[in-house]
Structure 1
Amino acid sequence: MTNNYTPESLSAPFPKSVLTVSREELSYLELTIEGELPELYGYAFIIGPAGSVDSKPVPGTFQIHPSSDGTPLFNGDAMIYRLDFDKVQEERKVRLTTRIAKTPCFYADKASVPGTEYEELRFNNHGLARLSTSLGFRNEVNTAFLPMKFPGQNERLLITWDAGRPYEIDPKTLEVVTPVGKNSEWREQIELPLPFGIVTTAAHPFFDTNTQKLFAVNYGKSIATALSPLLFNDIEKPLQEFEDFLKAVEDRLTKVSQPTQLLVATKSKLPLGEEIFHDLCKEVLKFLLNQQLEKEIEEFVEIFRELLQLLLLEKDVPQRFEKIWNELVQVLKYELEKGIENFHELCLEILNLVKLAQILLPAARKMEDFVYLICWDGESELQKWEVLLDEGKSTTPVKIKQSMHQIAVTQDYVVLMDTVFKLGPEQLLTSPLPKHPQIENLLRKYLDYPETPDTTIYIVRRSDLDTQNSTVKAKKVVIPRGAAHFLADYENPNNQITLHLAHNTAWDPSEWIRKYDQSVVSSTDNLPYGMSIGGMDINHLGRYVIDGESGKLVESSLLTNFDYTWATAIYAYSGTVPTAQFENIYWNSWGCWKELLSQYAFDTYKDYQYREVSIEKVREVTKQGIPVNLCRVDTKQMKICDTYKFPTGYFGNSAQFVPRRNGDGGSTDGYIVCVVNSGDAKSEIWIFDAADLNRGGQGPLCKLSHPQLNIGMTVHTTWLQNIGNRSSSYNISVCEDYHQRVQDTKSPLIEKLFQEKIYPEFENNSASA
């Protein structure tokens, strides 16, 4: 490990402008240019979450603060940003156009906000998921792009997410056109009788321009796999016991809440002058409830213990579970002390949560482990193969423990990865009671688990993807240390697959700062809620060579640098087509911020298996800080050859390579475009020389800005040389796609919502697919 780190105090706090964003849609906004604008051309696209239809505005501004209630920044409608460089050469102008991705579930969300006739159907944020118990899960498609180029057509562009079908947009208008595949062509993670299901897939599918094929995945987890970090045996009998347990909770909590219901209901009917009597009744009731809480909890504490023993097949319940009811009683008492009304509201919310669990439980029983590899030609129905693990004499379904955030494709193989971005119950539904953070903290404590320490890869031969078969076998490979993002050389000579990985060791990007979190080293209470947590160890960049036929790891090389591989997040490289052999990859690391290392993250990852930096050193480094940075890695030498550190208090993100006009097409012949946020609520676009990032300390070639430019948190990017109106006729009819699902709800109100607020927005869609 290169450990030339010299502590430098980052006195500036984490820039709060990352936490705010504008939902204003702009058209051809001319940006102000500071510095020398290089010979850019084409169009750079950036995507990121931009809050929800009910996000509260920041007073006196055009911005919103989507994470002010603790919602993770990754949860939000997709805002698409396009930087037009087509006027650079003639007019020295760069223009910006932005659009919110308006999918069918977006219009459902918009139509059901409070104050509308559909309010009872409304969506709410629950961790990474935005959910309506009547309508289902939002597909927010806010994470990445995928360009596709088919013969005789203009370039096509997909927007993607980890928990929903990809959608195609028109690159010129930025309007949503169609999903990829009908609802019926995708298998849901959990099948519920709701219009909007949850489909887990890769946010980074792959388009092979050599064969004009799109490769994607559709996977799911059984309830046993989803809970495997907590429970280690057959789940069927425990599920039945859990149903009984939920009924016990419902009965006892209903009994507890009955007197509070009476008191809350009568308050508004009291004659003037009798408030004192009402307040006295509240104090008496608080005393009685405290006594009753003890009694009711004690009665079903044994039920809970028996359930845990059954789940864990152990005689003695582990200490951390045994303490849960004592903690729950204390939380309930705390809420009671805040007032009868508050306690009554909590009881009702828990009862609603119990009812939701009772709805989900029968569907959870039917959840299965599955992975489908999908291939698509851009016009026809999806081709699918179930991926089975090749175990020699037998095959078994592939079990994904976390997520499949990214896949890669080579000449002869498809590479699937179980990535460290967790998509479990704690991330998707972590915020069922947003007004009661103590309860949510308790749920996280007992439902969450650390990311897996290793990377599991599944390799599929492309030659085995026979349309006459419904299954395909995969070889399993395990690489030490986890990873979320990776790239693969397209060429695989002698069946040798070369992978380039960023190892997110002891850094969990699926966890974020909650309102009940405390920083390990920061004294401020005003933490950047919603932002991903900080890292608990140095990250690494790896290059691995794997034999595609045997699944054996042939060669490995690890690069670590204290200054440049802390919280390594986003990559950039030359070209948008499959790269024969990567020569240079640009990595964007988020550095180390004292506000982002929560005590929860510290406790969760302090015993990380591959720890390289002691926890004492982690604490010291976090207190001092490490700047956000860019670095260029020569993949042959596995050496950092060029670097840039962003100034103190600046957050540079979403790096994108833009080739130089009339250049030689080399892997450094171009520019790096980044979104940059500072602490003064300012967003800018910085442009670097890809061959000389730092330029002797001068840094970026130029900066683009505008008073209306407020981007906030962004994720991935892409670049297109040309844009034109979409020329494909492929379109999924929204009405046909959802008609039966809407009918199955047997709800006249939901049917009216779709007829009046959703279908008309897509009335030009055809069923040509």
Structure 2
Amino acid sequence: MVIPVKALSRSSFGQFDAKVTGSWPNDISGHIFIVGPHHRPRERHLFVGTGVVVRWDLKAENGRIRVHSKPLQTWDGFWQELFPWTWKGGYFPASISLLGIAEIANTAVVKMDGRVFLTADAGRYWEIDPVSLKTITPVGYFDEHVITAPGLAFPMVMNTAHPFYEPDSSLLLGCELKARPRLENIWGDMVCHPYIYMWDGKSNLKQWKVDGVELDGSTHSLVVTERCVLVPDMPFQMGFSTVLGLKIPPVSPYPQTQIHVVDRSALVENTETVPARLVTFPGDSYHFLWNYRHTQEGHIQLCAIQQSTLGLTQAIEDDDINHFTGQRFQPEFWGIPWMFAFDPGILRKVTIKVEPQDTRTLNTETFIHPGWWSTQLFTADPREQFSAEGYSAIYQVYGGFYRDLLSRRQYLQFRDDLNRILVDEEIPLQDLPSVLTRIPLNEDWDSLTADLLAEQAAHPELPLASLGSSRLDFYVFPEGYLLDSVQFIPEGQGYILTTVLFQEYYEGWLFAANDLKGGAIAKISLPEGVNFGFTLHSEYLQSLSSQRPPYQVNRVLSAVRSLTKVPVKTITEAFKIICKSQMKRFR
């Protein structure tokens, strides 16, 4: 299978008229925002690069829709353009210089009462104008945030890429991390102390340290319900060596998902720390879909998107070899993350009891399709998010399996992964395609998995990806087509827009949400030479308005406060830690 690797790192900017073919519904009129990285030549990891936002205006006119694209103008980006040789292009998470850590804001889009923010795991969030796509402001001065490492102008902030906006309270809830080297492995690994924060969109952030909790990984996604905040410990791991681009792998994460449960009633004004209760369940979780409302019994229901044998902080490098052929990778492969696994993807449905004296995992159900590998992005119907019944289904993207993308280094790091399902002899001799599927949440996933395995045993002649066609609604993409971003459109019967890479082309495919197997009902073709490359998460807005922002960070004052307040804050915190440890010694 030919992988469109040359199309992954291209970013076109401007306003474009895109041609629509097929049957475009008349009841679609909203807007989809998709974010992805903008790659400078020296930035090697595909996830590295300041955010680029792409807006798709879904109201078709004369067989065309309008598509807009603009790069985010972060303040460190000015210095990167002015003095590019002073910035070191580490593989992850961002570029480094004497001025500090680059802010990337390239991973997800968050809407907040008509306002639009770009987010990432590293750096502050940035607000953009939803109409013009111009950069407005970062969220907060650096001294308001939890600082992992000081910098002259741009200290290191470790964030969750997926905060949660709660419309009823008009609050954005997120999580920042205070990282330090693991003492027994200073160069290879960090541990992180999580801080939950709330922001009302116009004043300072309010933070609470989660007491007594150290994370091995990071909190890529924060889970917020009507009563609780769940802080996951997720396998996005890095050490100082990773940040600097050195080849010292971090310590392997704990082989189960660990979640720290905080009662929202504890997040009150006059406290600085909150207690948390720990729950665990099997597997490496990278994202979550959850019901905001608790069940009648008071339980939390969520779906964990899991995948073994991949590592998103690592990427193919110039001296890597292909695991199967032993040949070195061509330059166009360098920087492609280990986001394609050599094992089937896992979806795990979990019910959690959250009583103060009895917090535990009540039960889990596991969905595994033997031909669907590399769980990636997902979407769901946002009209169901705050309902009493919760979500009815998850729409999951499986990236596929590609022998051309498996390096020996990735294989060796995950060869003995405890969550791995298959052994080496069961790795297919051919590639597996991208798949878009709808998995109902009211079905018994254990039984569904058992039925798929039985069908595989009874019909070995069937293509692996086609198993379950009588039970599930899904679409298998043609050979050479790579499924990228995905977004549910909550209009009419519901639609799914996906972005697709093929050769050097970038397209949008529209599906009816209730009939994926019927294929795309319409396709969007960009003008020749226009390509947005590898993109990530997305968000839907019904309408757009450009308003005077109620919040603005002053650029000059931000630099002054970074030079003055951040060092004082860092030294004060370090002094408190030293004093506390000394007091323990003399007790």
Instruction: Please say if residues 21 and 63 of structure 2, whose CA atoms lie closer than 8 Å, have aligned partners that are also in contact.
Output: no
CA distance in 2, matches of 1:100, 1:41: 24
1:274 aligns to what?
A: none
1:551 aligns to what SS in structure 2?
strand
Within a 5 Å distance, the mapping from 1:301-320 to structure 2 comes to none
Q: Which has more strand, going by share of residues?
A: 2
1:724 aligns to what?
A: 545
Instruction: Please say if residues 589 and 628 of structure 1, whose CA atoms lie closer than 8 Å, have aligned partners that are also in contact.
Output: yes
2:378 aligns to what?
A: 571
Choose from 292, 309, 330 the match for 1:490.
Answer: 292
- One-letter code of the match for 1:644? Y
1:552 matched to 2:360? The reply is yes
CA distance in 1, matches of 2:148, 2:506: 37
CA distance in 2, matches of 1:492, 1:699: 35
2:18 aligns to what?
A: 31
1:181 aligns to what?
A: 140
1:142 matched to 2:106? The reply is yes
Instruction: Please say if residues 195 and 745 of structure 1, whose CA atoms lie closer than 8 Å, have aligned partners that are also in contact.
Output: no
1:17 matched to 2:10? The reply is no
1:100/1:215 CA distance change after superposition, 3 Å? same
Instruction: Please say if residues 232 and 259 of structure 2, whose CA atoms lie closer than 8 Å, have aligned partners that are also in contact.
Output: yes
2:544 aligns to what SS in structure 1?
coil
Give a deviation string over 1:594-649, Cα, whole Å, max 9, x none. 1111111111111111332112212xx2x311101111110111457311111111
Give a deviation string over 1:151-191, Cα, whole Å, max 9, x none. xxxx0111001011111111111111111122111021123
1:567/1:579 CA distance change after superposition, 3 Å? farther
1:738 aligns to what SS in structure 2?
helix
Instruction: Please say if residues 148 and 158 of structure 2, whose CA atoms lie closer than 8 Å, have aligned partners that are also in contact.
Output: yes
- One-letter code of the match for 1:76? G
CA distance in 1, matches of 2:206, 2:318: 44
1:408 aligns to what?
A: 223
2:499 aligns to what?
A: 675
CA distance in 2, matches of 1:512, 1:128: 9
Choose from 308, 315, 329 the match for 1:512.
Answer: 315
Within a 5 Å distance, the mapping from 1:633-652 to structure 2 comes to 633-637=439-443, 638=445, 641-652=472-483
Considering only CA atoms, is the larger Rg found in Structure 1 or Structure 2?
1
- How many residues are aligned here? 533
- One-letter code of the match for 1:227? N
1:739 aligns to what SS in structure 2?
helix
2:173 aligns to what?
A: 215
1:751 aligns to what?
A: none
1:428 aligns to what?
A: 243
State the 1:230 CA deviation.
Answer: 6.1
TM-score calculated relative to the size of structure 1: 0.66
State the 1:466 CA deviation.
Answer: 1.0
Within a 5 Å distance, the mapping from 1:208-287 to structure 2 comes to 208-224=166-182, 227=185
Give a deviation string over 1:208-253, Cα, whole Å, max 9, x none. 112211101111222126937968xxxxxxxxxxxxxxxxxxxxxx
1:548 aligns to what SS in structure 2?
strand
2:132 aligns to what SS in structure 1?
coil
Give a deviation string over 1:459-507, Cα, whole Å, max 9, x none. 1111111111111111111111111101210111332011111111222
State the 1:584 CA deviation.
Answer: 1.0
State the 1:743 CA deviation.
Answer: 6.9
CA distance in 1, matches of 2:273, 2:250: 33
Where relative contact order (Cα < 8 A, 6+ residues apart) is larger, the structure is: 1
- One-letter code of the match for 1:539? G
2:315 aligns to what SS in structure 1?
coil
State the 1:418 CA deviation.
Answer: 1.1
Within a 5 Å distance, the mapping from 1:588-607 to structure 2 comes to 588-607=397-416
Within a 5 Å distance, the mapping from 1:344-493 to structure 2 comes to 369-388=192-211, 396=212, 398-430=213-245, 443-444=246-247, 446-493=248-295
2:276 aligns to what SS in structure 1?
strand
Choose from 68, 76, 79 the match for 1:108.
Answer: 79
Instruction: Please say if residues 260 and 278 of structure 2, whose CA atoms lie closer than 8 Å, have aligned partners that are also in contact.
Output: yes
2:454 aligns to what?
A: none
Instruction: Please say if residues 670 and 689 of structure 1, whose CA atoms lie closer than 8 Å, have aligned partners that are also in contact.
Output: yes
2:435 aligns to what?
A: 629
CA distance in 1, matches of 2:353, 2:368: 25
1:654 aligns to what?
A: 485
State the 1:379 CA deviation.
Answer: 1.2
CA distance in 2, matches of 1:135, 1:230: 24
1:237 aligns to what?
A: none
2:511 aligns to what?
A: 688
Gaps of 5+ in 2: 449-470, 568-587
Give a deviation string over 1:52-81, Cα, whole Å, max 9, x none. 2xx2xxxxxxxxxx76xxx11001121110
Give a deviation string over 1:429-451, Cα, whole Å, max 9, x none. 22xxxxxxxxxxxx52x444434
Instruction: Please say if residues 285 and 304 of structure 2, whose CA atoms lie closer than 8 Å, have aligned partners that are also in contact.
Output: yes
Choose from 44, 58, 82 the match for 2:32.
Answer: 44
Deviates more, 1:630-639 or 1:538-547: 630-639
State the 1:129 CA deviation.
Answer: 3.6
TM-score calculated relative to the size of structure 2: 0.86
1:124 aligns to what SS in structure 2?
coil
2:324 aligns to what?
A: 521
1:73/1:229 CA distance change after superposition, 3 Å? same
- One-letter code of the match for 1:128? F
State the 1:106 CA deviation.
Answer: 1.1
1:82 matched to 2:60? The reply is no
1:609 matched to 2:415? The reply is no
- One-letter code of the match for 1:562? P
1:642/1:598 CA distance change after superposition, 3 Å? same
CA distance in 2, matches of 1:703, 1:647: 17
1:226/1:572 CA distance change after superposition, 3 Å? farther
1:546/1:712 CA distance change after superposition, 3 Å? same
- One-letter code of the match for 2:516? L
Instruction: Please say if residues 225 and 399 of structure 1, whose CA atoms lie closer than 8 Å, have aligned partners that are also in contact.
Output: no
1:538 matched to 2:340? The reply is no
1:584 matched to 2:393? The reply is yes
- One-letter code of the match for 1:123? W
2:461 aligns to what?
A: none
- One-letter code of the match for 2:501? N
Percentage identity across paired residues of the two chains: 26
CA distance in 2, matches of 1:514, 1:531: 8
- One-letter code of the match for 1:689? A
Choose from 130, 136, 140 the match for 1:171.
Answer: 130
Instruction: Please say if residues 342 and 401 of structure 2, whose CA atoms lie closer than 8 Å, have aligned partners that are also in contact.
Output: no
CA distance in 1, matches of 2:433, 2:286: 21
State the 1:522 CA deviation.
Answer: 4.2
1:105 aligns to what SS in structure 2?
helix
Within a 5 Å distance, the mapping from 1:712-751 to structure 2 comes to 712-742=533-563
Instruction: Please say if residues 450 and 605 of structure 1, whose CA atoms lie closer than 8 Å, have aligned partners that are also in contact.
Output: no
Within a 5 Å distance, the mapping from 1:313-328 to structure 2 comes to none
CA distance in 2, matches of 1:682, 1:226: 48
CA RMSD of aligned residues (A): 2.3
Gaps of 5+ in 1: 1-11, 56-65, 115-121, 150-154, 232-366, 389-395, 431-442, 664-668, 747-769
- One-letter code of the match for 1:32? K
Instruction: Please say if residues 188 and 238 of structure 2, whose CA atoms lie closer than 8 Å, have aligned partners that are also in contact.
Output: no
